[in-house]
């Protein structure tokens, strides 16, 4: 068996990087084993030792594996890695990586000059016997790209979707091999991401957080990697904080009260800021909102990031930079329909209050029945999660086209088709919809597309329509093609 795999490996040794993504799990493990410079340890908790097992099964593992272990008992784990509040979390994973990687050069000083050390770790919760939990785990790799070089970290969070514990273990083993192989042999960060699910499908595994850091990857913007996770279909939602640090949504939003503002933010205008601030005041007054456990999110969907079907990554980073500069947490999603977003958030906030901030014209689209023609239950099927328990929509007013007259929920009801008016009244009577009454209506004439056009043409006066921090960032960095004395900011490469 080993000889057959070795022959297969030799046949693919000369393939290009793009072609190498087609290698099987066995071929990847064998190539790693046959590389004389790669050597390290495995520490796996919670799902057996499925990753290390793949390297043992193909043969030649003595060329790769210095140690494998599984401190399954909590007391043993604490004695080795230190005390941790939870055992399936990023903090525990980092404790494991720190401990295991430090031991390699300490115990193998004779190999330092010729070896690319690595420490692989995972801490995982697989499906329990009653099948009442969500299988998930934290997986990490600390590794060198050259002997005596600095170490880098690759950290990701996965959701395991197989409905059988043994299948979840096998999926984890495959993903672990893909991760090690990708970090050791593939240079392009996006290619590493795309290789993670080789031999798997998104019906079996979801990767909802990815971070690649270290001196060899100082050029990598992990906010862009978060976008690529969503764009390339590895997850529906990714998230990063005001400082640009990627976050794991289920952990960051667990049992939190969440307020979400969706928009294009191209650029952020005074209207966007007022929508956020005024709706937050409304949200904080709700009796079932814990102010100490409240999170405000600005959401960018793939649809809002696309132009003619293509996503401009440079433009995405412009918007991300500006939103982060205002202290906001960014959610990137592939949930075009609001009810799908709310359904997702409801599962991870565990029944806590969720608020959505919408313009009145966005609410019009929600009430268009033709939007739901592909749903068996039509508009009612979508409204069940959208207006479920602890969900509320805060509606920001707009101006009537070509006039100074406000368009609010009272006007909206009058213009609804007769067959939907009772449904609307039910939502109003049950406190599912609320006008934002303290909106700054003097800014409602600001249209972001008009502001963007002014910026690109270098026309004066656009600064008055955006916050000071936004105008400063645009001018300093040349965002949105703002003229920098004839010199434009170069496109982002990764």
pLDDT along the chain (494 residues), means of 10: 49 47 90 97 88 96 95 90 90 96 97 98 91 92 97 97 94 97 96 96 96 97 97 96 95 96 95 96 95 96 85 93 95 96 94 95 95 94 94 96 89 94 97 95 94 93 96 93 61 40
Tell me whether domains 2-220 and 251-443 share a fold: no
The H or E element containing residue 194 is helix 189-195
Give the span between the Cα atoms of 323 and 320, in whole angstroms: 5
Structure tokens at 54: 């793949």
The three-state secondary structure class of 486 is: coil
Give the span between the Cα atoms of 435 and 433, in whole angstroms: 7
Q: What are phi and psi of 211, to 5 degrees?
A: -140, 130
Burial class (CB in 10 A: 0-12, 13-18, 19+), 356: buried
Neighbours of 486 (CB within 10 A): 5
CATH class belonging to 2-220: alpha beta
Structure tokens at 203: 């019906």
* Chain centre to alpha carbon of residue 215: 23
Q: Where are the domains of the chain?
A: 2-220, 251-443
In 35-164, where does DSSP find H-type helix? 50-57, 74-81, 90-107
Looking at residue 485, its pLDDT comes to: 57
Looking at residue 487, its pLDDT comes to: 43
Looking at residue 73, its pLDDT comes to: 87
Burial class (CB in 10 A: 0-12, 13-18, 19+), 376: exposed
In 196-312, where does DSSP find H-type helix? 222-231, 249-252, 270-284, 302-305
CATH architecture group of domain 251-443? 3-Layer(aba) Sandwich (3.40)
Give the span between the Cα atoms of 30 and 48, in whole angstroms: 21
Sheet containing strand 257-262, strands side by side: 246-247, 237-240, 329-333, 294-301, 257-262, 354-359, 391-396, 433-435
Looking at residue 17, its pLDDT comes to: 46
End-to-end Cα separation, the chain, in angstroms: 40
């Amino acid at each position: 068996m080993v000889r057959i795999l070795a022959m297969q490996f030799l046949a693919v040794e000369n393939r290009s990087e793009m072609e190498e993504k087609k290698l099987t799990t066995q071929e990847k493990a064998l190539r790693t084993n046959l590389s004389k410079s790669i050597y390290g340890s495995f520490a796996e908790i919670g799902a057996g030792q499925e990753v290390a097992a793949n390297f043992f099964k193909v043969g030649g593992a003595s060329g790769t594996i210095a140690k494998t272990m599984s401190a399954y008992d909590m007391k043993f784990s604490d004695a080795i890695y230190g005390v941790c509040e939870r055992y399936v979390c990023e903090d525990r994973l980092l404790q494991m990586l720190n401990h295991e990687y430090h031991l390699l050069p300490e115990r193998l000083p004779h190999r330092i000059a010729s070896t690319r050390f690595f420490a692989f770790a995972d801490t995982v919760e697989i499906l329990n016997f009653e099948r009442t939990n969500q299988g998930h785990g934290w997986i990490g790799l600390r590794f060198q790209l050259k002997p005596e070089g600095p170490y880098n970290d690759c950290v990701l969070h996965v959701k395991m979707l197989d409905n059988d514990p043994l299948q979840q273990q096998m999926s984890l083993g495959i993903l672990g091999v893909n991760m090690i192989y990708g970090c050791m042999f593939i240079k392009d960060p996006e290619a590493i991401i795309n290789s993670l699910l080789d031999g798997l499908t998104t019906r079996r595994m979801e990767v909802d957080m990815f971070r690649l850091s270290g001196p060899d990857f100082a050029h990598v913007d992990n906010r862009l990697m978060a976008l690529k996770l969503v764009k390339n279909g590895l997850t529906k939602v990714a998230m990063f904080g005001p400082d640009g640090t990627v976050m794991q949504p289920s952990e960051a939003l667990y049992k939190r009260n969440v307020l979400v503002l969706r928009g294009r933010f191209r650029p952020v205008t005074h209207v966007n800021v007022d929508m956020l601030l005024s709706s937050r005041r409304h949200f904080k007054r709700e009796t079932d909102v814990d102010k100490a456990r409240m999170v405000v999110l600005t959401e960018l969907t793939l649809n809002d990031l696309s132009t003619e079907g293509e996503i401009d990554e440079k433009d995405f980073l412009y918007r991300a930079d500006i939103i982060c500069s205002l202290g906001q947490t960014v959610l990137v999603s592939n949930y075009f329909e609001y009810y799908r977003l709310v359904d997702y958030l409801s599962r991870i906030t565990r029944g806590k209050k969720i608020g959505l901030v919408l313009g009145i014209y966005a609410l019009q689209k929600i009430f268009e029945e033709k939007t739901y023609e592909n749903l068996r239950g039509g508009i009612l099927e979508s409204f069940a999660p959208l207006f479920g328990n602890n969900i509320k929509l805060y509606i920001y007013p707009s101006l009537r086209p070509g006039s100074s007259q406000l368009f609010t929920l009272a006007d909206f009801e009058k213009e609804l088709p007769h067959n939907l008016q009772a449904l609307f009244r039910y939502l109003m009577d049950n406190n599912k919809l609320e006008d934002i009454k303290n909106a700054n209506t003097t800014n409602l004439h600001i249209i972001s597309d008009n502001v963007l056009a002014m910026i690109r043409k270098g026309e004066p006066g656009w600064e008055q329509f955006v916050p000071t921090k936004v105008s400063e960032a645009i001018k300093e960095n040349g965002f949105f093609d703002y003229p920098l004395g004839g010199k434009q900011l170069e496109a982002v490469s990764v």
